[in-house]
Chains A and B, each alone.
Chain A
Amino acid sequence: MRNSLILRTAARLLVPLILLFSVFLMLRGHNESGGGFIGGLVAGTAFALYAMAYGTAASRRALRTTPQALLAAGLATALLSAVIPLVQGGAMLQGLWAKPLGVKVGTPILFDVGVYLIVIGITLMIVYELDESGVQFFPQEPHPASLPAEAEEAA
């Protein structure tokens, strides 16, 4: 399992696809099944898969921020969606809508984005912590070929 070539290659192809799918799921949640929670879980699995293939250290680098920061950003975004209507003179958490460029957007989607970020943050915090302070199931030593981004930059 460790440093499997097949897994690493597949992960590089799958991670962007999974992330794209997670955004699709989140947006779809507005009228159909889906939503911020399930979207966030799927996005979390993308980084978890990356961690399985390349190790948690590489996955943390790929995230480009910390799970805690995602958590804070998510809570702040959700809070914003609750407070915007309040500032506009409505009730807290009331849905406000606008139609820029013919697309109907409103505060509920902001709330969903917040949930999406919170769930990614929580999932990854748990996955990274579990691996780093206990199981150590994922690859530990960075394999020479395990850092595709840096390798490409160097080339």
Chain B
Amino acid sequence: MDSHTLLLLPLLIPFVVAVATLALRTRPGLQKALNLIGMTGILAASIALLVRIGNEGIQATGLGGWPAPFGIMMVADHLSVIMLIVSALIGVAVAIYAIPNVDAQRVGFGFYPFMNLLMVGINGAFLTGDLFNLYVWFEVMLISSFVLIVLGNTEEQLAGGIKYVVINLVSSLFFLAGVGMIYGLTGTLNMAELAMALPQVEQEGLVTVVAMLFLVSFGIKAALFPLFFWLPASYHTPPAAVSAFFAGLLTKVGVYALIRVFTLLFTQDVGFTHGLLLWAAGLTMVSGVLAAAIQTDFRKILSFHIISQIGYMIMGLALFTPLALIGAVFYIVHHIIVKANLFLVSGAANQLQGTFSLKKLKGLYAAHPLMAVLFVIPAFSLAGFPPLSGFWAKLILAKAGIEAGAYWIVAVAMAVGLFTMYSMSKVWVNAFLPGTDEDVDAGRTPTAVRVMYLPIGALAAATIFISVFAGPVYEMAEQSADELMNSSAYIEAVTGHEESVADSATRVDLDGRAGGVHAQ
């Protein structure tokens, strides 16, 4: 298969499935099967893409047959493909989990088409090499997630949905303003060309303004301090399958966008931009974990922990050394799997005892020891217990922080790890250890929950896999960090020819204005 088709398969497959499930909206059984096949297909295509870029380097292709500066480019480097694979893995897990978890009414209202359209948006955001196109994928993603978050029409969902919609629209507005300004400054929106053109722009202040607009916009999407309030207000409302998918992936698209623009585009004033990011990372970690400590709802605790974990990823980006970026990428892989899995466990607990409240959940360990084991693996990993994946992720980041001399952020990260342990033990003590007053119902596990154990177990196995085989994952993260730190390979893959900064500087002189990339 040629690279062009392979690169577009992660977009085409979910789109085809979305159309097919929409056409088959009276056949829920077929929809479920198609969704599962589609998600597995995306996983297979993403792995094939990883093999391809491992052999042939970064792949780039233009849509509609237009060459680089004019057409929309799709680019797959290691970071993109790692994100694709992990998100497809969550897609498969949620596809199985949703079969018993999502009720017939929600399926009737189009749960599966929108799930697949959301996947189109997420994969598009990971693959695009064009800023405006990134905006479009964000919109595709947001529209589908708006629908998914209110699907089912409960009062709680609508209240959460309104907050989610409004703040995300504000975020899009910031993004669009930034895109407009950057186009005005350079005359291009192709990211590779921007990477060449931005250092030539004379109004450095304006570039920093654009960087801040993007920071606010992606910061809202990634739930960065102080822009995270929408997340815990909305993520605990939809069915567990939906919140697991959101928790695992949506904020991470924001983190991905931050990593992309703050390694490829805005590296002119690292002291200011990345210094700010480091502060935001520290405050995000602390505020998320402290807020989680006072919560008593299973999913709200997990939601606040998403926020504190986002802080770790941004810490890796903000330190801006090769090792720190490796840590950030490793952390994203670890976090997506673990966090989605914990949400899936909370849904299974809800299925068994009819509540997400830690005050009402009790005795899960006595009645369902398998579930207790499946909870402990991701929970310990989240808290950073050796030898689980979270420990390696935190270790890399701590080492990078010490090497960079940012001791305070390392101290903060370690303290936040302890508090994470506190929250996880709170869940354990309240929900899993037996209640005191009444006997626990130790009857037969319902079939629905047995089906749910399948994806939960698979994701727990994935966590153990990246814990035991941390080496290969580290190597992949290392490759993506190399590509991020040294963007010339990315630029070369997109523009199709090697271009040094000196070349574009000459062209600026000829053109008589900054960023005259199109003057050729």
Chain A residues with Cβ below 8 Å from B65 are 85, 90-91, 94
Nearest-CB residue, chain B, relative to A89: B2
Q: Which of B4, B8, B22, B64 contacts A72 (CB 8 A)?
A: B22
Chain A residues with Cβ below 8 Å from B5 are 86, 92
Whether, in the assembled complex, B16 has its beta carbon less than 8 Å from a beta carbon of chain A, the answer is: yes
Nearest-CB residue, chain B, relative to A93: B64
**A91 and B22 in contact (CB under 8 A), knowing A79-B16, A83-B12, A86-B5?**
no
Chain B residues with Cβ below 8 Å from A72 are 19, 22-23, 25
Whether, in the assembled complex, B432 has its beta carbon less than 8 Å from a beta carbon of chain A, the answer is: no
A86 and B65 CA atoms in complex are apart in Å by 10
Which of B45-76 touch A at CB < 8 Å? Answer: 61-66
Chain A residues with Cβ below 8 Å from B19 are 72, 75-76, 79
Rounded to whole Å, the gap between the CB of A6 and the closest CB of chain B is: 38
**A92 and B63 in contact (CB under 8 A), knowing A83-B12, A86-B5?**
yes
Chain A interface SS verdict (over half): helix
0/1 interface trace, chain A 82-103, chain B, CB 8 Å (1 if under)? 0101100011111100000000
Q: Are A71 and B61 in contact (CB under 8 A)?
A: no
Q: Are A93 and B22 in contact (CB under 8 A)?
A: no
Whether, in the assembled complex, A17 has its beta carbon less than 8 Å from a beta carbon of chain B, the answer is: no
Q: Which of A68, A75, A79, A91 contacts B63 (CB 8 A)?
A: A91
Chain A residues with Cβ below 8 Å from B23 are 69, 72-73, 76
A93 and B62 CA atoms in complex are apart in Å by 10
How many A residues, CB 8 Å from partner? 17
Whether, in the assembled complex, B256 has its beta carbon less than 8 Å from a beta carbon of chain A, the answer is: no
A90 and B63 CA atoms in complex are apart in Å by 10
Chain A residues with Cβ below 8 Å from B64 are 91-95
Q: Which of A68, A75, A91 contacts B62 (CB 8 A)?
A: A91
Rounded to whole Å, the gap between the CB of A104 and the closest CB of chain B is: 18
How many B residues, CB 8 Å from partner? 17
Chain A residues with Cβ below 8 Å from B15 are 75, 79
A69 and B24 CA atoms in complex are apart in Å by 9
Chain A residues with Cβ below 8 Å from B63 are 91-93
Whether, in the assembled complex, B302 has its beta carbon less than 8 Å from a beta carbon of chain A, the answer is: no
Nearest-CB residue, chain B, relative to A121: B22
A93 and B11 CA atoms in complex are apart in Å by 13
Nearest-CB residue, chain A, relative to B25: A68
Q: Are B8 and A68 in contact (CB under 8 A)?
A: no
Which of A33-75 touch B at CB < 8 Å? Answer: 68-69, 71-73, 75
Rounded to whole Å, the gap between the CB of A133 and the closest CB of chain B is: 11
Chain B residues with Cβ below 8 Å from A68 are 22, 25
Chain A residues with Cβ below 8 Å from B16 are 79
Chain A residues with Cβ below 8 Å from B25 are 68, 72
Nearest-CB residue, chain B, relative to A94: B65
Rounded to whole Å, the gap between the CB of B8 and the closest CB of chain A is: 5
Q: Assuming A92-B8, A94-B64, what are 14 further A-B pairs, CB within 8 angstroms?
A: A72-B19, A72-B25, A75-B15, A75-B18, A75-B19, A76-B23, A86-B8, A90-B65, A91-B62, A91-B64, A92-B4, A92-B5, A93-B63, A95-B64
A sample of 7 inter-chain contacts (CB < 8 A) reads A68-B22, A69-B23, A72-B23, A76-B23, A79-B15, A86-B4, A92-B63
List B residues at the A interface (Cβ < 8 Å): 4-5, 8, 12, 15-16, 18-19, 22-23, 25, 61-66
In the A-B complex, the 4 residue pairs with the closest CB atoms: A91-B65, A94-B65, A72-B23, A72-B22
